[in-house]
Structure 1
C-alpha cells in the first residue's frame, strides 16, 4: 500500500449505472455518468455519453450514489497517522466531521494544554510521540498547531483520504479560558471563550461541539453554553451546535430537553449527536424523545440528529470516572488513582450511587468491554468484559478497572453494551435523522461501527429488514447531512456540476462484515469509491489515494474547499 500515492485524476465514464441521487424518495434511473476534473460532467441515457479519453466502467446492475457523510467522526489524528483511511473509505464514506464531543487537538494556547489533551483522549486516538509522527507516520506538522486554522492547514498539507470539516470543541474553549478545574466561568472567561469561538469559526469551523460528560467541558453551565450558542446564531448563519449531552442514562430525556431549550432560547441550530437512549432505564422510551424533538421543531427550532446502527457504545474507559476524579487533567487524575482513600470514594460513586461519568447509573462491569490497550501487561485484556477479567484474576472488578487505568495512563478504550434495538430502529426513522459513526479508529479491538456503519444502514436495515428502500436510506447518509453542513448540492448529491464524491455498489451484496470479534473486516459490495474524482477504491481494492479536501466555512456561510 503506497500512502504517498499521487492523487491521480482521470476521466471516468460509468456506463449503465442505476443512479441514486441522494434526494428524499428519489426515483432511481439508469444512466451513463461522466466524471471529469473532479466533477460530475455529464449524465445521460445509456449509450449517449461519449468521451474518447475516459476510463469506462460497466455499472450494469449496480447503484451509483453520492459518497456517504459521517456527521460524527473521531478521525482527528487518524487522518494523518493512517492516511489511506481504510476504515472509512472501504465503506464508502467520503466526508467526515471531526472536533466532536467537545474535546480535540485545537485550539490550544500552550504546549502543556496540547500535551494534556493528547493524554486525555489517547483512548480515542492513541498518543504517538512527536518522533513517531515524524518517522513512522511521516506526517508533516503534527502537533505543531495552535489554532483551528493551523490544524486544518496541517490536514491540507498532509492531504487526506476523505473530505474533512471541523467543529470547535467547547471543552477546549473552557480549558483555555478557565483551566481544567470545576469552577464557574467568570464573565471575562465566558467572553474569552466567545472570542476563541469566533476566531475558530472565522478560520473555517462549521459549528461547535460539546462533551458534557467529559472534562473540562462538562463543567460549563447551561447559561455559559447559551452565550456561545447565541454568538453562533447571531453572527454565523448555518453554523450549528452539536452537543454530547449530560446523560444518556439517568434523566436522559431531561438532558435532551436542556439542549433543545438552548436551541429555542438562542435560535441556534441544534444537531443532537449520537442521539441514543441507552441503559435499562430507557428501554422503549425512544418515542418520548422523538415527541420532544417534534415539539421543538414545531416551535421553530432547527433540529437534526445522528445515530450509529448498533446497540453498544464506545468511549474512553476513563470516562466512567466521576468528573471530580478527572478535575485538573490527566496527571491529577492519575494521582488520585494512586490514593487508596480516593479510590474508595470513586468506588462508591461508580458502583453504588452512579456518577456523571456513568450517566448517573451504577456501572455493571458485565456490560463494559475492554477495547484497545497500550501497556504490554494488558495485552490479554482487550476484547474481554471487565467482570470476566476480574473473575479470572480473583479480584474485584473495581480493582481491575483502576489497574487498567493506571497501567495504561488512561489510554484505554471501552465498549458499553447498553443499547436497545427498538430504540435504535425508532430513532433512525425520524425525518431529521442522519448517519454518524462515532467510531474510534485507534488500536486493534474496535467497535465494528468503525468499518461498518454505512453499509450496515444500507444492507441490514434497508435491504434485509425492509425498514427503508435503499433510495430512502440514501438520503440519511448523503443529502441530509450535506444540507446540515451547508455543502449541498455540491456534495451529497449526484448531479451535473456536483463534486465527484461517488460510490458504486452492488445493492444485492452490500453488507457490513465487521463484527465485535473481527472488527476490521471490510464491507462487501463496495466496488468503487471516488473522492473529488480521485479513485480511492478501485474494483473493491483500496488505492491509498488521498483526494479529500479540507472544508471550511466561508464568510457568506457556505462551506467548501480553499482558504476562508
Structure 2
C-alpha cells in the first residue's frame, strides 16, 4: 500500500498542468532564429513548456493556427510618467503588441522620485510592465533650477547623490535630454560624473543627444565619449537625421556607431519608423531664451529689444536649414487653444491674416508659447534614411510616445502604430528587414540591453509576455490626419500569463508589474 501511495503521488505531480496553452502557432522566439511550429504552456505567469502539448492538462487553450507567436514587445523609449495613471489599461500600447515599456527618457522622470513611481505602478495595477530611467534634467533642475552654468562642487555632489538614490530605488539607468533645458546647459564632464554612478549600479545611459541635425556628428561623438570614459552601456534615443540638408547622411552617422562597437563600446540605438518627430514648440527657440524659467522666458519674448535678437538668431538658423517657413511644424496639442490642433505654424500664420513666411511664422511661434506652448509634430526626415537606419542590426524599435487619453489632441501616429508599421511596411511590404529580425529588435535585444532577465524570449522559465498576430494583416491604422486609430492584426496579447487582449478585445486584465534595476537586491527585472 505504501508503494502504491508513492506511485500515485509521483504520477500526479509529473502530469503537466497549465493555466493556458497556445496551440499550433508559428513560434518566433525572439533570438532572430527561424520560426518553428509548436504549442506553449503557461503556468503561474511563466512559460512552463514548449512543444507538442495538446489540451488534456490545461484550464484554457487558444488556437494560434495561421498566426505568429512572439515574445511581448519591449518599447525602450516611452514617456508615460503621468499618462499611465490617467489610463492604466494603456490601450494604445496593448493594441500594438507592447507588453513592457521603459519610461523616464529624454532627461525627464517622475518628479516625486523613482521609488515612489515604481510603488505607484504596482499599487495602481497597469496593463503593461514598466521600468524607468532617472532623468538628468529632473535631477539638475531639483539641484540648480534652470541655471545656465556649470554646477559647483557641492551641486555636482548633490546631483550624484540623487542619482545614487534613484538607482537604489530601482532605476534601470539615466537618461539625458541635451536639447531641453536645463540639460542643454550641462557640459560633458558633468554627465560623465553622473554616468559613473549609474555604471557602478549596473545601469545604462540613454541619451536624446545634443543635436540630431546639422551638428549630429559632434553629438554622436559626445555620447560615445561618455560611454568610453565610464564604461557604461550607451543607448542613443530615436536615432535620425533632421533637416533636408542632412538627408542621405545615415551611412556616415551609422558608421560612427559601428566604429564605437568595433572599439568594444556597448553602443546601441533605437528608432521610430516615421519621417516626422514630435516634441514641444519651445525647441524652436534658442536655448538661452528658456533659462531661468517661464517668467524669464516670457520677459525675453515680450521685450522688443531682446526679441529682436531672438528673431535674428531664429532667422539665421532657418536660413542655414534652408527653411522659408515653419510649414513642417504641426500642432499636436495646444492646451491653451485646442482649435490649433492639427494645423501647421504656417497655417496658423495665414489664418491670422499674415503671409506665411519665416519672419511671420516666428511671431506665431512666440504667440503660442506665450499662451503656454504646444506639443508639436515636425516633418523633417527622409524615408531612405529611415530605411537605412532600420537595417542596422543593433537598432531597437521604440515609439517615443505616451499613453493616449486626450481624444481632442492630434498626436503623432507612433503612439498607436509603431510596431505594426514596422511589421507591415518594413517587413511585409518592402522587405527592409525579415520578420524574425524585426521581432528580435522588439524583444530580446531590448531585454538584453536593459537587463530584463526574465523577458524578451520564448523559452521555459521566462515571463509569459506573449503576442499572437496575423503576419498577413497586421497593420498600423493611425495617420497624421486621423491618429486615434488602433493597430489591427494583433489577436492576443498576454502579460505575465494573463490574457489582456483576446480576439481583438481588451479583457480588462492589468497584470503588468514595476520592473526594478539590477541595483535592487532580490528584484529580477
TM-score (norm 2): 0.91
Shift in alpha-carbon separation, 1:306–1:363, aligned structure 2, 3 A? farther
Aligned to 1:126: none
Following superposition, the deviation at residue 222 of structure 1 comes to 0.6
Match in the other structure for 2:38: 31
Alignment-derived partner of residue 449 in structure 1: 414
Residues 509-543 of structure 1: per-residue CA shift (max 9 Å, x gap):
01111101111111111000011112221100122
The aligned counterpart of 1:19 is 27
CA deviation profile, 1:326-376 (whole Å, cap 9, x unmatched): 111233323433333333222222232469xxx98868401111111212x
C-alpha contact (below 8 Å) 1:79/1:161 kept by paired residues: no
Of 491, 497, 515, the match for 1:527: 491
What are the superposed Cα offsets for residues 110-169 of structure 1, whole Å, 9 maximum, x if unpaired? xxxxxxxxxxxxxxxxxxxxxxxxxxxxxxxxxxxx321112111211111111111110
Q: 1:541 aligns with which of 480, 488, 505?
A: 505
2:106 counterpart SS class: helix
> What corresponds to 2:262 in structure 1?
298
Counterpart Cα distance in 2 of 1:174 and 1:34? 47
Matches of 1:427 and 1:251, distance apart in 2? 18
Describe the shift of the 1:446–1:219 C-alpha distance in structure 2 as closer, same or farther (beyond 3 A): same
- RMSD over equivalenced CA pairs, Å: 1.9
CA distance in 1: counterparts of 2:169 and 2:197, whole angstroms? 16
Q: CA deviation at 1:53?
A: 4.5
Larger Rg: 2
2:388 corresponds to:
426
CA contact (8 A) 2:87 2:405 kept: no
- Alignment partners' CA distance in 2, 1:264 and 1:558: 30
Deviation at 1:249, TM superposition (A): 1.0
Out of 160, 164, 170, the residue aligned to residue 198 of structure 1 is: 164
Give the alignment of 1:226-245 within 5 angstroms. Answer: 226-233=192-199, 235-237=200-202, 239-245=203-209
Instruction: Give the Cα separation in 1 of the matches to 2:77 and 2:324.
Output: 25
Alpha-carbon displacement from aligned partner over 1:356-397 (angstroms, at most 9, x marks no partner): xxx98868401111111212xx33221111112212222322
Q: 1:101 corresponds to which residue? A: 106
Structure 1 stretch displaced more, 379-388 or 447-456: 379-388
Question: Following the alignment from structure 1 to structure 2, what is the Cα–Cα distance between the partners of residues 262 and 82?
Answer: 36
Q: Is this contact kept in 2: 1:34–1:42, CA < 8 A?
A: yes
> 1:179 Cα deviation (Å)?
2.1
Q: Paired residue for 1:72? A: 77
Residues 1:394 and 2:353 aligned together: yes
Counterpart residue number, 1:142: none
Task: Give secondary structure in 2 for the equivalent of 1:366.
Answer: coil
CA distance in 2, matches of 1:335, 1:77: 29
Aligned to 2:14: none
Residue aligned with 2:426, SS:
helix
CA distance in 2, matches of 1:252, 1:558: 40
Q: Following the alignment from structure 1 to structure 2, what is the Cα–Cα distance between the partners of residues 70 and 224?
A: 28
Distance in 1 (CA, whole Å) between partners of 2:244 and 2:519 is 46
| d(CA) in 1 for partners of 2:236, 2:396 | 10
Give the unaligned 5+ runs of structure 2.
Answer: 1-17, 355-359
- Matched with 2:150 is 184
From 43, 57, 66, the equivalent of 1:61 is: 66
Paired with 2:507 and 2:378, the residues of 1 have a C-alpha distance of 34
The question of whether the paired residues in 2 share the 8 Å contact of 1:434 and 1:476 is answered with yes
2:50 aligned partner: 43
Tell me if the contact between 1:161 and 1:536 (Cα under 8 Å) persists in the aligned partners: yes
Q: Select which of 88, 93, 118 maps to 1:88.
A: 93
Offset from partner CA, 1:78-121 (integer Å, 9 cap, x none): 11001121111111001101111012333xxxxxxxxxxxxxxx
CA contact (8 A) 2:102 2:133 kept: yes
Distance in 1 of aligned mates of 2:490 and 2:364: 41
Counterpart check, 1:498 vs 2:462: yes
Shift of 1:63: 0.6
Which residue in the other structure is 1:480 paired with?
445
| C-alpha separation in 2, matches of 1:547 and 1:254 | 43
CA deviation map 1:417-449 (0-9, x unaligned):
001111111112112111111125464201000
2:21 and 2:58 in contact (8 A); partners too: no
- Which deviates the most, 450-459 or 394-403? 394-403
Q: C-alpha separation between the residues in 1 aligned to 2:338 and 2:137?
A: 31
Moved more, 452-461 or 541-550: 541-550
Shift of 1:558: 8.5
Show the counterpart of 1:276. Answer: 240
Q: Is the alpha carbon distance of 1:162 and 1:361 closer, same or farther for their aligned partners in structure 2, counting shifts above 3 Å?
A: farther
Secondary structure, counterpart of 2:133 in structure 1 = strand
* Residues in 2 aligned to 1:246 and 1:557: alpha-carbon distance in whole angstroms: 34
> CA, structure 1 residues 260+317, in 2 after alignment: closer, same or farther (shift >3 Å)?
same
- Please tell me whether residue 516 in structure 1 is matched to residue 480 in structure 2: yes
1:221 counterpart (180, 187, 191): 187
C-alpha spacing 1:442/1:256, structure 2 compared with 1 (3 Å)? farther
Partner Cα distance (2:505, 2:20) in 1 = 17
